[in-house]
């Protein structure tokens, strides 16, 4: 396992963005997390404006409000507005080939689903959590950039951007609208950076 000193600042920031998206999408924020989000400050950039919007929205909501929004967006009674899974976005079906390929790669990388997690591993929150760990070295040495790129290309690129665009435009997304914007911008930056580094 690596220490923070062994991970470049730029990579730490990338891992932090992935970690934030994983936390936001894995479950609705509790009141303590909302209070910390309300303290975020953005700048005049498109990403900074989305962060500011998220902070303002967090300041006026509570965890009970978010339970209803999270349920409508991701769980739903019968059908949610969004299905945040790679298999669905890539093939139109849940638990399909993309999930099987991900599980094979997880075995190779020494990754395993957390105990007590019932969602399939190709959930966007799980994939963001994996990317954060692979960048920061939470499960061993950080992956070299080429291997990070290979994981990103195989399991996230393309469909994740579409998911975040859908989240940004979802009718029930109030708190999650700026989360969609943040994810869309971040994944676009990641894709461009990997392309430039190749």
Q: pLDDT digits over 68-91, tens only?
A: 999 999 997 668 999 999 999 999
Q: Which domain holds residue 115?
A: 4-197
Q: What pLDDT does 113 receive?
A: 85
Q: Which residues does the chain have with pLDDT short of 50?
A: 1
Q: What pLDDT does 6 receive?
A: 65
Neighbours of 44 (CB within 10 A): 7
- The predicted model scores a pTM of 0.94
Q: What pLDDT does 165 receive?
A: 98
Q: What pLDDT does 5 receive?
A: 55
User: Residue 82 maps to which CATH number?
Assistant: 1.10.3480.10
Report the alpha-carbon angle 88-137-94, nearest 5.
10
d(CA 159, CA 196): 20
Q: How many domains is the chain built from?
A: 1
Q: What pLDDT does 112 receive?
A: 87
């Amino acid at each position: 396992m690596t220490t923070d000193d062994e991970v470049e600042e730029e990579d730490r920031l990338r891992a932090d963005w992935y970690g934030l998206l994983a936390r936001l999408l894995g479950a609705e924020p509790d009141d303590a997390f909302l209070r910390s989000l309300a303290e975020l400050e953005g700048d005049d950039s498109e990403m900074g404006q989305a962060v500011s919007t998220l902070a303002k929205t967090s300041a006026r909501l509570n965890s009970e409000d978010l339970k209803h929004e999270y349920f409508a967006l991701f769980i739903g009674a019968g059908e949610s507005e969004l299905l945040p899974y790679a298999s669905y976005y890539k093939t139109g079906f849940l638990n399909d080939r993309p999930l099987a390929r991900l599980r094979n790669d997880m075995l190779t990388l020494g990754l395993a689903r957390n105990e007590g997690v019932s969602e399939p591993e190709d959930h966007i929150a799980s994939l963001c959590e994996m990317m954060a760990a692979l960048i920061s070295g939470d499960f061993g040495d950080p992956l070299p950039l080429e291997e990070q790129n290979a994981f990103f290309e195989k399991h996230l690129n393309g469909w994740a951007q579409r998911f975040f665009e859908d989240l940004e435009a979802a009718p029930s997304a109030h708190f999650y609208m700026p989360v969609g914007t943040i994810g869309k911008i971040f994944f676009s930056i990641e894709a461009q950076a990997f392309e430039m580094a190749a």
